Structure 1
């Protein structure tokens, strides 16, 4: 998700890649929900349905939002691994999906099927607030940065984005991703689900460091941006 200023997308339209990406995204959410219910062995699991409702709602809003402000971004984000992608990007793309499904499987086993642990209701509520906040930050970043892509790749016409959440931290998309992945086990009521969530968090922190290093080398003006926006993920911390 290289940082850059917005580009003109008034003439952009959803192309074949974009349409395929939208279908794949919705099918992925449905598959994740099926895996979640199978792992829990309970089709009436309220937390599972609540999580699914939020995720499918997010996909609907995400798709309509980008179709309105920047369809080209939907087209580009449909390409998970682009030609010329960095090696660490490819490793992350291959590793993230199975780790995310581990969050769902372990949470289903823990919270329902085997009952390894019990989580208080207030943490579920906290998880819902966390994922709502993360979604807001994610949409804000997409609105500010039309190059909010899945692949670390500096394009020829890119400039550093300094607006929106990029005024606060340099990688708001990763910050939102970390909050979301930590919120999932809370919504599902699973302490053990936090184990793979923590692994994904570490992966995202490492990816942040590697992307930041790449942008300093390859994106003109980014080094100066790091002096005015000092923090990568957490304001006043790091």
Structure 2
């Protein structure tokens, strides 16, 4: 598995951090897919179930997951699930990292949005919005960390590469 081939963390993640991360994914995927099994209420579908929305959602999800996989593969042993420095950390600026500084998050948000279009639930939309805000906070933490690790080069990278949305933000 890729996770086992990552560089050693400079600071180890706590058990609480790992549990909270796993719990977060359980909550996200529960709300994303609940509309497929429950009718009405907070989990019920509010987005129309049309063929073009389903196709758009499926394509967004495929592109998002593909972006996540490609970005993660390029990071290689520099990847970490949490905001942490690695021993001999390297700044990756190729592939999707040429367009955005955080393409794994871009891909994940894209996949979540696509899933929302497919399942159509209010809970899915709410959890996707909350998760996106949480990722924006995590991005800010990562930007500080990467600026500390790569003082000159990360500032230069920030000047010509968008944060999350290619050509926009």
TM-score range, shorter chain: 0.7 to 0.9
1:4-61: CA deviation from partner (whole Å, max 9, x where unpaired): xxxxxxxxxxxxxx4xxxxxxxxxxxxxxxxxxxxxxxxxxxxxxxxxxxxxxxxxxx
Where in structure 2 are the equivalents of 1:125-204 lying within 5 Å?
A: 125-146=55-76, 147-204=78-135
Alignment partner, residue 227 of structure 1: 159
**Aligned mates of 1:188, 1:116 — CA distance in 2:** 7
Give the aligned length.
160
**Are 2:137 and 1:206 aligned?**
yes
**Aligned mates of 2:146, 2:156 — CA distance in 1:** 11
Higher CA-based Rg? 1
Runs of at least 5 residues in structure 1 that lack an aligned partner in the other structure: 1-17, 19-72
* Higher RCO (CA < 8 A, seq sep 6+): 2
Runs of at least 5 residues in structure 2 that lack an aligned partner in the other structure: none
Alignment partner, residue 33 of structure 2: 104
**Aligned mates of 2:84, 2:47 — CA distance in 1:** 43
Q: Could you list the structure 1 runs, at least 4 aligned residues long, displaced by more than 3 angstroms after superposition.
A: 89-92, 114-118
**TM-aligned CA deviation for residue 99 of structure 1:** 2.9
Length-normalised TM-score, structure 2: 0.77
Q: CA RMSD in A?
A: 3.1
1:131-160: CA deviation from partner (whole Å, max 9, x where unpaired): 111122122212322123312222231221
Length-normalised TM-score, structure 1: 0.57
**TM-aligned CA deviation for residue 82 of structure 1:** 9.3
What SS does structure 1 have at the residue aligned with 2:107?
helix
Alignment partner, residue 237 of structure 1: 168
What SS does structure 2 have at the residue aligned with 1:154?
coil
Where in structure 2 are the equivalents of 1:41-80 lying within 5 Å?
A: 73-76=2-5
